[in-house]
Amino acid sequence: MHISEGILSAPVLFGGASLAVAGTLIGLKKLDLDRIMEVSMLTATFFVASLIHVPLGPASIHLVLNGLLGIMIGWACFPAIVVGLLMQAVFFQYGGLLVLGVNAVNIAFPAVLCFYLVRPLLAAAKTRPLAGFIAGSGSILLSSISMALSLAFTDIGFLATAKITVLANIPIMVIEGFITMFVVSFIGRVHPELLWGAAK
């Protein structure tokens, strides 16, 4: 899900960075000090999710679960994702510093969208699995499209590469959809208040 440093053009990089700063400030404003531990713990948990590999044929993919994070904490997912990406850059050198803004927007914006569009479906136990699937696969679909757009806006010659990126993400969409669905229905049975307790 990362774009490496050194690929995107200045307007895309700075545009992404300003959007990421705006999103992070909104997220921090909605996050009061009382909930900081809760959101930090979720940030750590979703960082751990990115270390979980599930097999896909002969290869394996790692989880992103940004849709799940979005429906759980709404706008606060922006700072959480920025922090997660920063730690990935320091630990594993994935992504970079300047491109962090673009990557954060690509991952966090679909998550916030899920919060507004999918969350109403979460309330009823009947539509909950559906909500989970839509959030999980929809956020990966939107993330890969927005990643493709960042490439295409940089240089129209990247268009074919960008299209391949979206196609390559289709199996991930299906897997993330199912896993998010199972997580949501599990939490819905075990600890339902966790699904909306953290968001405000």
Partner 1 sequence: MKFETFSTADSFLQRLDPRVKLLSSLALIVVIALCTTFAAACGGLSVALLLVLAAKLELKLVIRRLLLVNGFVLFLWLTLPLTYPGTAAFTLGPLDFSREGIMLAALISIKTNGTVLVLISLLATSSVAALGQALVKLKVPAKLCLLLLFSYRYIFVIHQEYLRLVRAARLRCFKAGTNLHTYRTTGYLFGMTLVKSHHRAHRVRQAMVLRGFQGQFHSLYDSSVGKTEIGFALLMLTAVAALIGLELLSRISS
Q: Residues 158 to 177: which contact partner 1 by CB under 8 A?
A: 158-161, 164, 175
Shortest reach from residue 76's CB to partner 1, in Å: 9
Shortest reach from residue 17's CB to partner 1, in Å: 10
Of 187, 163, 200, 183, the residue nearest 66 (C-alpha): 183
Out of 40, 113, 130, 166, point to the residue binding partner 1 (CB under 8 A).
Answer: 40
Nearer to partner 1, 38 or 113 (CB): 38
Nearer to partner 1, 40 or 127 (CB): 40
User: Is residue 70 within 8 Å of 114, Cβ to Cβ?
Assistant: yes
Candidates 54-62, 104-112, 115-123, 138-146: pick the segment binding partner 1 (CB under 8 A).
54-62
Give one DSSP letter per residue of 108-121, joined into a string: HHHHHHHHHHHHHH
Q: Please report, for residues 18, 26, 148, the alpha-carbon distance to residue 23 in angstroms, rounded to integers and kept in the order given.
A: 9, 5, 20
- Is residue 92 a contact residue for partner 1 (CB under 8 A)? yes
- Is residue 98 a contact residue for partner 1 (CB under 8 A)? yes
Shortest reach from residue 109's CB to partner 1, in Å: 18
Out of 64, 83, 105, 134, point to the residue binding partner 1 (CB under 8 A).
Answer: 83
- Is residue 104 a contact residue for partner 1 (CB under 8 A)? no
Spell out the residues 6+ positions from residue 69 whose beta carbon is closer than 8 angstroms to its own. Answer: 42, 46, 77, 80, 81, 111
Give the torsion through C-alpha atoms of 20, 187, 133, 2, to 10 deg. 30
